[in-house]
């Protein structure tokens, strides 16, 4: 095992590497956030981190203000979201929860959103954005399992907001919070499925899909 937990400022390699959550200074690569560094795969999985918008990512936000030709969206992030009104078919009310796709991050630090969909009712929770890839799981296994086990509809935004509706949302919240806390441990898919009382056959299948300690699933979102 060449995995170790690194802290900001720790030298990861004596050569320049292009990594998320790391900077190159001189000829060295240094971590800028806490994370698990895999030496063999040269992969830094952030344990703590903020959300950086990327195009075509799905986010969840709350409509802050409906202006004449745009909507401002609160994304619970350092970036403000904006939705151009001419791309919206039906008018959206203030304080509505929406799911949208990121088109781009413009130069002023505003996230331009497209393809909005209003989410009515339900429950909105916030988790650390660095844990979202683990919550989704490799090939959506983890979130599919929670959705299936609690009979809820779940929409996950890469900015850390999760919306859910119908079914046992309390159990789903509990499962998501458990993933947030224990995301860096192995065999988590197994523990979540036993928590949700899913049949044993799905146990092994889900565990197999998790693969190498969830490293691939972590990689997915970055």
Give yes or no for a contact between 60 and 119, defined as CB atoms under 8 angstroms apart.
Answer: yes
Q: Cβ closer to another protein: 184 or 207?
A: 184
**Least Å from the CB of residue 121 to another protein:** 26
**Least Å from the CB of residue 30 to another protein:** 7
Q: Cβ closer to another protein: 36 or 43?
A: 36
**Least Å from the CB of residue 60 to another protein:** 18
What distance in Å separates the CA atoms of residue 81 and residue 68, rounded to the nearest whole number?
A: 16
Q: Cβ closer to another protein: 70 or 165?
A: 70
Q: Cβ closer to another protein: 101 or 186?
A: 186
Q: Cβ closer to another protein: 182 or 205?
A: 182
Cα–Cα distances in angstroms (integers) from residue 191 to residues 57, 64, 175, 187, 202, in the given order: 28, 38, 10, 7, 12
What distance in Å separates the CA atoms of residue 11 and residue 29, rounded to the nearest whole number?
A: 6
Give yes or no for a contact between 41 and 3, defined as CB atoms under 8 angstroms apart.
Answer: no
**Least Å from the CB of residue 69 to another protein:** 22
CA neighbours within 13 Å on the CB side: how many for 183?
A: 27
Encode 74-129 in three state secondary structure.
ECCCCCEEEEEHHHCCCCCCCCCEEEEEEEEECCCCEEEEEEEEEECCCEEEECCH
The CA-to-CA distance between both ends of the chain, in Å, stands at 22
**Least Å from the CB of residue 108 to another protein:** 8
Q: Cβ closer to another protein: 117 or 126?
A: 126
Which residues here bind another protein, judged by CB under 8 A?
5, 7-11, 21, 23, 25, 30, 32-34, 46-50, 52, 78, 80, 108-109, 128, 130, 181-182, 184-187, 191
**Least Å from the CB of residue 185 to another protein:** 5
């Amino acid at each position: 095992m060449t995995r170790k937990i690194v802290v900001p400022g720790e030298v990861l390699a004596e050569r320049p590497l292009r990594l998320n959550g790391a900077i190159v200074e001189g000829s060295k690569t240094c971590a800028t956030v806490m994370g698990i560094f895999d030496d063999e795969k040269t992969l830094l999985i952030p344990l703590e981190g903020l959300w950086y918008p990327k195009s075509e990512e799905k986010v969840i936000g709350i409509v802050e203000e409906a202006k004449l030709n745009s909507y401002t969206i609160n994304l619970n992030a350092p970036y403000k979201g904006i939705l151009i009104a001419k791309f919206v078919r039906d008018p959206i009310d203030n304080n509505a929860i929406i799911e949208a796709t990121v088109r781009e991050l413009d130069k002023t630090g505003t996230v331009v959103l497209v393809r909005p969909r209003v989410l009515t009712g339900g429950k909105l929770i916030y988790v650390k954005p660095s844990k979202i890839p683990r919550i989704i799981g490799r090939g959506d296994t983890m979130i599919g399992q929670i959705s299936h086990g609690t009979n809820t509809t779940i929409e996950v935004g890469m900015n850390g907001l999760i919306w859910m509706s119908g079914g046992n949302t309390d159990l789903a919240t509990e499962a998501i919070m458990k993933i947030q806390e224990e995301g860096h441990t192995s065999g988590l898919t197994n523990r979540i499925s036993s928590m949700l009382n899913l049949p044993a056959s799905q146990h092994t299948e889900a565990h197999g899909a998790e693969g190498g300690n969830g490293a691939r699933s972590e990689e997915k979102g970055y």
